[in-house]
Amino acid sequence: MSKFRIMVVDDEEDIRTLLRLTLNPTYEVVEAYDGLDALDKIELAEPDFIVLDVIMPLMDGFQTCKAIRKHPQLHDVPVLFLSAKRAKEEIMKGYEAGATLYLTKPFDPDRLAKTIAYALERAGARIRPKRYTIEQLSRFWAAHADISPVSALKSEPATPAGPAASQPPTAPRPPSQATVQKVSPPPPPPGPIAPARPRVMIVEDDEDLCSMLSLVLREDFEVTIARDGLSAVERIINYQPDFIILDAMLPKMSGYQLCASLRQNQSYRNTPILFISAKCSPRDIEYCKRLGANDFFAKPFDLQMLRQRLLQYALAPGFVPRPKKMSLEEIILREGSGVERPADADHLPRVTRKQPDPRDFIG
């Protein structure tokens, strides 16, 4: 490995292309199109330097930088903000978020390259050993990008479910063989083992509703909780849920925004998302469906019906819980009382699946 690796994070494709052309002769370049994509890719990419836009959908650059600074292995990676925000207050906000440098747009590509070289030299940076080559990462991400945005476990069109509903929801369609082959990579080297029970993340700011959902679901699922959209982003990357129960109206970042971003993300574009909301007009339901929702439950709703719907997804042919970075016990230690403890459950079969490895996507 003879070159530093730089991650470019910007939601404008033209800017990413310009940065890649500017930096490629001297550095290895990996790209991310928003904060969620950057956090999802950063562990595999292992960048030595990050160029980060400020104005981005979902998570802005400041929030993304703060999340990077929390990463146990990559918290000290230099971050250069590249932004059209040039007010003194915005620049100070960038440094407070953890920036190493701050440059404003429009920018001179030559000056940017020299600034990065100077920053790396001044910091005495050394090229970090990498597990994967750029070619392996490109093949791996390209293979995942081919997966259809429509979930392999997509159910019938979302319909409201509430206390008045008398019939249980119909079972979701099992994925076709072609879809399973696309989603499932070749057998990788040994890695994390899938848990015995699927993991559900509840993203809801109503504490009482979170408690009731946890009580109903914990017999069959591992349950984690996020109280707003922004904290959900970091937790989704670390906790890797198999299902997401998502309130539409959330503080800091709406459920609509979070769902739209997840459906663009290579790792979570197929994760079943169940919306729960008091906004349940036909127009609201149709909007959630267009964003990529698998189901919609109108508040107040039957908790057991939602549980049955999740079980139908979990027991569908071809479903396998994704391998996890962290066990539920580790999450409990990290989050304290915000996560439900495991309960004995024999409802679902124990399955194992090794974690995909980019080395399997290189010819």
Is the domain of 123 the same as that of 156?
no
The total of other beta-carbon atoms located within 10 Å of residue 148's CB is 12
Q: Is residue 144 part of a domain?
A: no
> Which is it for strands 79-83 and 101-104: parallel, antiparallel or unpaired?
parallel
> What total of structural domains would you count in the chain?
2
56 located within any domain: yes
What is the pLDDT tens value at each position of the chain, 363 positions in all? Answer: 589 999 999 999 999 999 999 999 899 999 998 888 999 899 899 999 999 999 987 788 998 999 899 888 888 899 999 998 889 999 999 999 999 999 999 999 999 999 999 999 888 888 888 989 999 998 888 776 544 333 333 444 444 555 444 343 433 443 333 333 343 333 444 445 556 789 999 999 999 999 999 999 999 999 999 998 888 988 898 899 999 999 999 887 889 989 988 998 888 888 999 999 999 999 999 999 999 999 999 999 999 999 999 999 999 988 888 888 888 888 888 776 556 555 444 444 444 444 556 655 454
Q: What is the pLDDT of residue 166?
A: 37
Together in a domain, 168 and 23:
no
Question: Does residue 45 sit in helix, strand or coil?
Answer: helix
Angle, helices 61-69/88-97, rounded to nearest 10 degrees: 20
28/176 same-domain check? no
At position 67, the amino acid (one-letter code) is A
Same domain as 314, residue 273: yes
Nearest to 355 by CA among 131, 188, 137: 188
Q: Does some domain include residue 236?
A: yes
Measured in whole angstroms, how far is the alpha carbon of residue 304 from the centre of its chain? 27
**Are 263 and 355 found together in one domain?**
yes
**Same domain for 93 and 197?**
no
Q: Return the pLDDT at 226.
A: 92
Cα–Cα distance between 223 and 340 in angstroms, integer? 6
Q: According to the model, what pLDDT value does residue 340 have?
A: 57
pLDDT at 117: 93
Domain boundary among 131, 164, 197: 131
Range of the domain at 211: 149-361
pTM here is 0.68
State the amino acid at position 229 in one-letter form: G
Q: What is the per-residue pLDDT for 26?
A: 93
Boundary residue ending a domain (102, 131, 160): 131
Q: How many CB atoms lie within 10 A of CB 169?
A: 17
Residues 116 and 199 in one domain: no
In sequence order, the β-bridge partners of residue 28 are 5
pLDDT score recorded for residue 353: 41
- Does some domain include residue 36? yes
Same domain, 209 and 264: yes
Q: Is the residue at 188 inside a domain?
A: yes
Considering the domain boundaries, does residue 180 fall inside one?
A: yes
Domain boundary residue among 105, 131, 157?
131
Q: Are residues 118 and 173 in the same domain?
A: no
Are 63 and 155 within one domain? no
- The phi, psi pair for 5, rounded to 5°, reads -110, 130
Domain assignment present for residue 139? The answer is no
Domain-embedded: residue 140: no
Nearest residue to 116 via CA among 131, 100, 105, 129 = 100
Residues 60 and 114 in one domain: yes
Strands 222-226 and 101-104: unpaired
Q: In what order do the strands lie in the sheet with 243-247?
A: 222-226, 199-203, 243-247, 273-277, 295-298
CB proximity list for 198: less than 8 A, separation 6 or greater: 221, 222, 242, 243, 310, 314, 319, 321, 348
Contact 292, 260 (CB under 8 A): yes
Same domain, 79 and 167: no
- Regarding beta strands 243-247 and 273-277, do their DSSP bridges make them parallel or antiparallel, or are they unpaired? parallel
pLDDT at 320: 86
* CATH code: domain of residue 112: 3.40.50.2300
